[in-house]
Amino acid sequence: MLFDLEPKSRREDLYDFEAELRNLVNGIINDRITVIRGLRRTGKTSLMRIALNEVGYPYIYLDVRFTGRPRQADLIELIRRGLEDFLARNKPIIDRIRDALSRIRWVRIGASPMHVEIKLGEFRRLSIGELLNAINDLGTELGKPVIIAIDEAQELSRVTWIDFNALLAYSYDNLKYVKFLISCSEVGVLDKFLRVNDPEAPLFGRYMHFVSTGRLSPDESLDFLRRGFEQYGVRFSDELLMRIVNELDGVIGWLTYIGHQYVVEGRQSLDEVLESATALALNELRNFLANRSPRHRVLLRELFVRRSWRELKAVLETAEGRPINDKSLYVLLRELVDHGIVERADEDYVIADPILRRAVLRL
């Protein structure tokens, strides 16, 4: 169903992303590292899951959404859950998986019920290279690659004690049966994490296949809403549908949320539904702003509408009562753009997400 809030896993539930899906499947089959990039709520996770099911390779799925500053315990739990899910989804080859994972010194697999334990013991630190080697051994035995799918991979840039760039390069060069599928919402952060333009980076010069997601056009947004409501036997006036289209600027995640609120939650007022969405966005925004400079808040409130560099600099200088140098403003705006909160619009800047634009007025 189009209005299901959970990420889609079947092609028939995916709205009009056929070109992106073909491109993604082609990348997974033919390339070692494939990256899905796009703003939040533009269908990346659904595209990832459906492509993984279409390709049919065994895969380990890691949803990297840390709360707060990640510790080693958080990374351990992420890997533990990923391996446990991998075993549960692959009953026909479970013995081969158990055999491969048993070669990792810090992994223990228990039974009744089946579960994974990670015991570092004397090793103290995770050896991700050891895990990658075991996965490659499994792929070699199966005669097909194993995909490591990392959702919201930019979060790994906050794990400062492991050089993931070097690990990706090692796998790329040495592990024929390991492939990576990476998604990210914070494109600038991921570019820094992968260091795609850094000639000193371990991954520099290795080919990566990129797939991008974007907004729906107004006509596509209208069609998405009509088809979604038809699945529930519900009809709304074109006037209401066009108002929703105009409010949400083609962000499919918000279109899905609004439709779900109407047909599943039973809400009748668009203003009420938008209020619920704004509350969600406001919580995300507050989490981002925690422990950041008050200047971010000043800029975001101003970026409810398009603003030029000159206008933003004047706003900060007025707020602080003193001159602001260009480098300071550049760093602030670069961070907001890198995290996918703000986007460039020609020579101006504006908040990328239409619901986030509503939320900033409540900061």
3-state secondary structure (DSSP) of residue 311:
helix
Share above pLDDT 70 across residues of the chain, in percent, rounded to a whole number: 99
Cα separation of 106 and 148, whole Å? 19
Q: Residue 305: exposed, middle, or buried by beta-carbon count in 10 A (0-12, 13-18, 19+)?
A: exposed
Enumerate the domain spans of the chain.
17-212, 218-285, 294-360
Taking a C-beta distance cutoff of 8 angstroms, is the pair 299, 286 a contact? no
Taking a C-beta distance cutoff of 8 angstroms, is the pair 236, 216 a contact? no
The model's pTM:
0.91
pLDDT of 83 = 97
pLDDT of 157 = 85
CATH class held by domain 17-212: alpha beta
b/e burial code for range 258-287 (CB count within 10 A of at least 16 → b)? bbbbbbeeebeebeebbeebbeebbeebee
Taking a C-beta distance cutoff of 8 angstroms, is the pair 347, 311 a contact? no
User: Roughly what angle, to the nearest 10 degrees, separates helices 294-302 and 309-320?
Assistant: 130
pLDDT of 253 = 96
Cα separation of 177 and 32, whole Å? 9
Taking a C-beta distance cutoff of 8 angstroms, is the pair 31, 208 a contact? yes
User: In this predicted structure, which of 113-122, 127-136, 186-195 has the lowest mean pLDDT?
Assistant: 186-195
Per-residue pLDDT reduced to its tens digit, 137-163: 999 999 999 999 999 988 888 888 889
Average pLDDT over residues 9-35: 95
Taking a C-beta distance cutoff of 8 angstroms, is the pair 263, 3 a contact? yes
Architecture of the 218-285 domain: Orthogonal Bundle (1.10)
Give just the sign of the alpha carbon dihedral 261, 265, 271, 276. negative
CA distances to 41, 114, 122, 261 from 180, rounded to whole Å, are 22, 26, 30, 35
Architecture of the 294-360 domain: Orthogonal Bundle (1.10)
* pLDDT at residue 117 tops 90: yes
